[in-house]
Amino acid sequence: MMLGLITDFNGEIEIFGQNIKNDNIAFKRKIGYVPENGEIYDSLTPMEYLSFVGGLYGMEQNEIIYKAEELMDLFELRDVLHTRISSFSKGMRQKVLLIASLIHNPDLLFWMSRLVGWMLIV
C-alpha cells in the first residue's frame, strides 16, 4: 500500500502531505524502491537499463547520463557501465537496482532486505 501498488483499500495513507490513493502518480515520482529479488533486464547494460528507468520518471537523457555516471562511480561500478548485466554477480545486480531506485533523486526510499527481515525506509 505504501508503495502505491495497492490502491483498493479502506482508510488513507499520507506521506509528505499527499494522499497516496488520490495522488498516486505524483507520489511515485517522490519514492524509490529496491526489491529483495528484483527482476532486471539482464540483456541490457546498466546505462541502457538506467536510461529506461530514468525515462519512466520523465528525466531528460543528459540528466540520466550524468546521474548514472555519478551513481555508478559511487558504487564502484563505473568500469562496467557498458557491460551486459547478464555477466554480473548478484551483488552487482543489487547495486544496479539500488542505483535505479536513486536515479530520479527520490525523497523517500523503500528497501526490502531479507538480511534484517523488514523494510528499511530511508
* pTM, to two decimals: 0.77
Asked whether residue 41 is assigned to any structural domain, the reply reads yes
Asked whether residue 117 is assigned to any structural domain, the reply reads yes
15-58 pLDDT, tens digit each: 677 776 666 566 667 777 777 777 889 999 999 999 999 998 99
Asked whether residue 3 is assigned to any structural domain, the reply reads no
Residue 24's pLDDT is what? 59
Domain around 104: 16-121
Asked whether residue 8 is assigned to any structural domain, the reply reads no
CATH number for the domain harbouring residue 39: 3.40.50.300
Domains held by the chain: number: 1
Asked whether residue 5 is assigned to any structural domain, the reply reads no
Nearest to 103 by CA among 34, 26, 32: 32
Asked whether residue 9 is assigned to any structural domain, the reply reads no
Asked whether residue 27 is assigned to any structural domain, the reply reads yes
56-96 pLDDT, tens digit each: 899 999 999 999 999 999 999 999 999 999 999 988 998 99
Asked whether residue 88 is assigned to any structural domain, the reply reads yes
